[in-house]
Amino acid sequence: MSQLNGTEGPSGRIVAMDEVLRTDEPMLRPAAVAGLEELNPQQREVALHAEGPLLVLAVAGSGKTRAIAYRAACLIGIQGVSPSHILCLTFTNKAAEEMRERIGQLLKGPRSGITVATFHALCARMLRNHHILIKRSRRFVIYDSEDVARVGKEVAKDLGAEGCREQLLADIDRLKHRGVLPESDLGRLDQGYASHSRYMALLGQAYQLYERRLARYDALDFTDLLLKTLLMLQAHPAVLDQLRRRYRYLLVDEYQDTCPLQERLLQLLAAPDHNLCVVGDDDQVIYAFRHADVAAILTFEARYPGARVIRMEQNYRSSGSIIEVARKIIAANQRRQPKSIHTANPQGHPVEVVGFPSEEQEAGWLAQKIQELHGQGIPYGGIAILCRVASLFRPIERELTVRLIPYLLVDGLAFWERREIKDIMAYLRFIHNPLDYLSFKRIANVPPRGIGKKTLNRIEERLKAEPSVSLSEILEEATVYCRPVRRFLEQMTAFRGHDGTVGSLIERILEKTGYEAHLVKSHPDAPKRMSHLAQLLGIARRFDQDQAPASGGSETGLSEFLLQTGLSATGYEVDGSSGGVRLMTIHAAKGLEFRSVFVVGLEDGILPHARCREQVEEERRLFYVAVTRARERLFLSWSTRRVIQGRETSHLLSP
C-alpha cells in the first residue's frame, strides 16, 4: 500500500483534501493580509504578482514556502480571487498541511475552498471522479512499490524472466514517465537498448502483461496516477475545460522536484492564461531517480514566453561561514540559473573539515563532538548526521549506543511499510474492493486459517486463465472444494456489513480474526508490533472524528480513509517528535534544518557515488543540500578506510 494526502507521521492527524470539483465555496471578501510589511522586497514581489507566469528562483533557506503562502493569501485577501479558483501543489503531506495553516493564519479567517494537495492526491481524486474514463471502478486500489514488486514478480515468472524482474519494472516505469503506452512499438524508441532487440521485445511483453494484471486487480501504481490523468485530460476536453474554469491560479512549491509528467499536467491546466507561479531552486534538484529533471526550471522561460523571474537569494537559515562553503560548492555547476546565495547572518563558527584513517575513528570523533555540542546546550534532536548511503551509519550507531547517545535512524522501516500495518490495511482494502487480488493473497492465511497452497495456486491459475471471470466468482467457486475459503468469505461479508466507523472496523478485524493472538504466537517482538496497531487505531479514530460532520456513511468513510492513507508513501515524512540525534541520508534530509550538521563519507566513490560519476552536477547539488541543512555548526569528514557490504575498501577524499 502507500500514502500521500494526509498523514503527519504514525500518530498524526489525517487531513482530507477539498473535493476537486466542488464549486460551492463561499467567496471571501477582500481583506488585508497580515505581515506583508515583514517581507523583503523579493518576497513582496512574489506575494503581489498579479497575472501571468512567474518563476521564483529561491535559494536554500530563503523563505520560499512563506512567499508562496503569501501569494495565495494576497490573491484571496487583496485581489479578491475566490479561494475555489486557487490550486496549490506541494510534494509531501506535511508541506500541504503547513501551507494550509500558513494561508489561514495570514488571512486570519476561514480557508474554505482553496485546494492544497500533492500532485498524486489531486490526480487520484480526479481519477476517482472520472473512473469510467480509465476503465477502473471508483474503488480502485493504489499500489505502492512493494505491491508493484509483487505484480512484477508474477509477470516475470509468467514470461520466464525472473532474472531481470527489477530491470523490467524500472524500464516500465521509465516508459510511463515518458508517456509511452503498452501498445507502442518500443523498437522505435531510444531506450538505451537499441542493440538489444530481444530485450525490447521482452520489455514490450512485460509492459502489456503488467498493465493487464493491474487492470485485473482494479489497481493503479503511483505513476499511473499521473499518466492516466494526463491521458484523460488530453482525450476529454470537457473534463479539462471544467478543471481550467475551476483552477484559474496555480501555485507550485518545490518546483524543482517535478517530473516531466507533472510538468505536462501543469502546462495543460495552466493554459490558456498561464497564471502559473512556481517556486523552486535548480541547485536542489536531487531526485533524478524519481525522474525529477533540472530542465523544468532551466527551460521555464522558453515554455512560458513573457514569464517574470524573481530571484530570492538571501538565506535566513545559516551562518556566514556555512553559506560561503555552500556558494563555493554549487558555483562549479554549469547547468544552473544564475544566482548567488548570501546571508546577513553573523559569520559564526568556522566549518570543520576532518579526515580519519578508519571509519571507527571517525565514529568516535563524531560521538565526542556530539557530546560536546549537547553540553553546550544543543539538544540531541537539533543535531543531524547525513551521508550519501545509509550503510555508512553502522559504526556510527555502534559508537552512539556505547556512549548512551539517543539517536533516530530516519531511513529505517517506515510506519506504513511495517508488516502488521500492511496486513490490517490489506484487510481494509479487500473489504472495500473484492477485486484486489494482492490484498486477498496477503491475508488469505494471516492468521493461518487452513487455506492450502494448492488451493491458492488453483485460484491464481484460474484468475490468469479466465479474464472474464471476477475474483469474487472464482473465490465463490473455491468454497465448493475448500471449506476454509467459505469461512473466509463469510467473515469478509460480515466485515462489509459493518455499519460503523473505520476505527471500530479495525477493532472488529483484530478481534474476529485473532490477529493479535497470532502476533503473540509468531513474533517475539509482539508488544512492539501491537503498539504499532494501537497507533493505526489512533489514526483511524482521529480520521473518524474529522469526518463525522460530513459523514456519508461507513462505506464512504472507509473509501476516504483508504484513499488518504493509500497516498501517503511518496516523499519523505520525518517525525520530529523524537529527541535523538538524526541519522539520515541526504535525500531524506531535504527540506529540514538543524542547529548542527555532520556530513560524513566525503570520499570519491561515496560522494560523488561510484555509480553516478556521469551525473557529477547532481552529486554536487546533493552536497550543497547537505551543507545548507545546517544553521550554526557544520562538520565535514572522510575516512580512507571503510567496510562496505562486508568488504574493506580504501578511499580518497572527494575531488
One domain for residues 446 and 557: yes
395 and 439 belong to one structural domain = no
Give 519's contacts (C-beta < 8 A, 6+ positions apart): 420, 526, 529, 530
542, amino acid identity:
R
pLDDT score for 271 = 93
In a domain, 155, yes or no: yes
Nearest to 318 by CA among 503, 112, 62, 132: 62
Residues 298, 348, single domain; the answer is no
Whether 342 is in a domain gets the answer yes
Residue 482 lies in a domain: yes
Do 297 and 248 fall within a single domain? yes
Rg (CA), the chain: 26
Where is the domain boundary, 188, 217, 246?
217
Helix, strand or coil for residue 405? coil
The upper half-sphere exposure of residue 47, i.e. CA atoms within 13 Å in the direction of its Cβ, equals: 26
Handedness of CA 433, 436, 438, 442 (dihedral sign): positive
Q: By C-alpha distance, which of 186, 159, 187 is closest to 175?
A: 186
Q: Quick check: helix, strand or coil at residue 281?
A: coil
| CB 319, CB 64: distance < 8 Å | no
Q: Looking at residue 461, which CATH number applies to its domain? A: 1.10.486.10
**Residues 254, 292: Cα–Cα separation, whole Å:** 11
Burial grade of 465 (CB within 10 A; 0-12, 13-18, 19 or more): exposed
576: how many CB neighbours lie within 10 A of its CB? Answer: 12
Q: Range of 108's domain?
A: 36-124+228-312
Q: What is the mean pLDDT of each run of 10 residues along the chain (655 residues)?
A: 35 40 41 80 94 96 92 91 94 84 79 84 94 94 94 95 94 93 78 68 94 96 96 97 96 94 96 95 91 92 95 97 97 93 97 94 96 96 94 91 91 77 96 96 95 94 91 95 96 94 96 95 92 92 77 71 77 55 93 96 84 83 96 95 64 57
DSSP assignment letter at 26: P
Same domain, 187 and 101: no
| Grid cell for residue 580 | 535523538
- Which string of DSSP letters, residue by residue, matches 161-216? -GGGHHHHHHHHHHHHHTT--TTS-GGGS-SS-TT-HHHHHHHHHHHHHHHHHHHH
Nearest to residue 217, comparing CAs of 418, 417, 419, 429? 429
- Give the Cα separation of 138 and 275 in Å (integer): 31
Let me know whether 371 and 440 are in one domain: no
Query: What pLDDT was estimated at residue 611?
Result: 76
Residue 329: give its domain's CATH number.
3.40.50.300
Q: What pLDDT, on a 0 to 100 scale, did the predictor assign at position 569? A: 53
d(CA 95, CA 80): 25
How is residue 197 written as a grid cell?
532487440
Say what the pTM is: 0.87
Packing angle, helices 471-478 and 483-496, rounded to 10:
130
Per-residue model confidence (pLDDT) at position 18: 42
CA angle 299, 607, 601 (to 5 degrees): 145
Whether 419 and 534 map to the same domain: the answer is: yes
* Distance, C-alpha 437 to centroid of its chain: 25
User: Are 292 and 262 found together in one domain?
Assistant: yes
Residues 33, 70: contact at Cβ < 8 Å? yes
Q: Which of 293, 312, 331 is the last residue of a domain?
A: 312
| Euclidean distance between the first and the last CA atom of the chain, given in angstroms as a whole number | 41
Maximum Cα interatomic distance, the chain, rounded to a whole number of Å:
78
Q: Is 455 helix (H, G, I), strand (E, B) or coil?
A: helix
In a domain, 1, yes or no: no
Domains held by the chain: number: 4
Q: Are residues 157 and 171 in the same domain?
A: yes
Considering the domain boundaries, does residue 11 fall inside one? no
Whether residues 305 and 242 fall in one domain: yes
What backbone torsions phi and psi does residue 165 show, to the nearest 5 degrees? Answer: -60, -50
The closest of 121, 145, 90 to 257, measured between CA atoms, is: 90
| Whether residue 609 is found in the same domain as residue 498 | no
Residues marked active site are found at 64-65, 253-254, 284, 629
> Is there a domain that residue 644 lies in?
yes
Residue 89 host element (H or E): strand 86-90
Q: Is the domain of 401 the same as that of 423?
A: no
Predicted confidence at residue 520, as pLDDT, reads 94
Task: Please state, in angstroms and rounded to a whole number, the distance separating the CA atoms of residues 402 and 397.
Answer: 9
Other C-beta atoms within 10 Å of 522: how many? 12
Q: Rounded CA gap, 34 and 11, in Å?
A: 32
Spatial distance between the Cα atoms of 86 and 597, rounded to a whole number of angstroms? 37
From the list 145, 155, 161, the residue with the least C-alpha distance to 213 is: 155
DSSP secondary structure code for residue 34 in this structure: T
Nearest CA to 515 out of 419, 595, 436, 592 is that of 419
Look up residue 574 and give its three cell numbers: 520525518
Can you read off the three cell numbers belonging to residue 513? Answer: 480474526
Tell me, yes or no, whether 382 lies in a domain: yes
Report the 3 state secondary structure along 557-585: HHHHHHHHHCCECCCCCCCCCCCCEEEEE
SS3 assignment for 497-564: CCCCCHHHHHHHHHHHHCHHHHHHHHCCCHHHHHHHHHHHHHHHHHHHHHHHHHCCCHHHHHHHHHHH
- Using CA atoms, how far residue 118 sits from 62, 241, 251, 533, in Å, is 22, 21, 11, 27
Last residue of a domain, one of 520, 554, 569: 569
For 495, the grid coordinates are 466485515
Any domain includes 223: no
